[in-house]
Amino acid sequence: DGEGMRAVVAALDALATDPYPAQSFPWGQMQRLRVGKYRIMYIVEGDLVTIDRIDRVSGS
């Protein structure tokens, strides 16, 4: 899914400047961001954003 992955890469780039976009939600100690058919799970520690995983959303 090339188009979907391009959207994921763009979202990852945007997290560098805004780790808490309006579309993200807290998930335990992580943040969860839905990008099209994908879910990005990541941790924010100060200025560091660590991507935990990128999953395809079931049913999509």
- Residue 39 pairs in a beta bridge with 34, 55
Q: When comparing pLDDT for 29 and 59, which is higher?
A: 29
The pLDDT of residue 59? 73
**Structural domain boundaries, residue 14:** 2-56
What stretches of 1-60 adopt beta strand conformation (E)? 24-27, 30-35, 38-45, 48-56
The pLDDT of residue 1? 72
How many domains does the structure of the chain reveal?
Answer: 1
Exposure string for 5-24, b = 16+ CB within 10 A, e = fewer = eeebeebbeebeeebeeeeb
pLDDT by residue (tens digit) across 5-55? 999 999 999 999 999 999 999 999 999 999 999 999 999 999 999 999 999
pTM: 0.89
The pLDDT of residue 58? 83
Identify residue 20 by its one-letter amino acid code.
Answer: Y
